[in-house]
Amino acid sequence: MSARELLERLASGLVDAPDDVVVEEFAEDDGTIMLELAVAPDDYGKVIGRGGRTVHALRTVVAAAAASERRRVLVDIVD
């Protein structure tokens, strides 16, 4: 499972509108992969979590999964 698929699956499990979860993948010049996560407007609070705990956990899990493939992945939440 790729980091993009993992993020989509985790985010879809957190939100009320899983069909609105969109993850876009961009490759940086240094080989880093940037994943941009967008969800329904009412679901941003669920993805971010209290004090950013949920998004921090998502970033940690995705980064750990990518590290096993020796890749660097950054996760960004976009409006």
Express as a percent the part of the chain with pLDDT over 70. 100
End-to-end CA distance of the chain: 26
Report how far residue 35's alpha carbon sits from residue 47's, in angstroms, rounded to the nearest whole number.
14
The answer to whether residue 31 scores a pLDDT higher than 90 is no
Q: By percentage, how much of the chain surpasses pLDDT 90?
A: 84
The CATH number of the domain covering residues in 3-77: 3.30.300.20
Domains in the chain: boundaries: 3-77
pLDDT, position 68 = 84
* pTM (two decimals): 0.90
Strand 73-77: give its sheet, edge to edge: 22-27, 33-38, 73-77
Rounded to an integer, the average pLDDT of 1-23 is 94
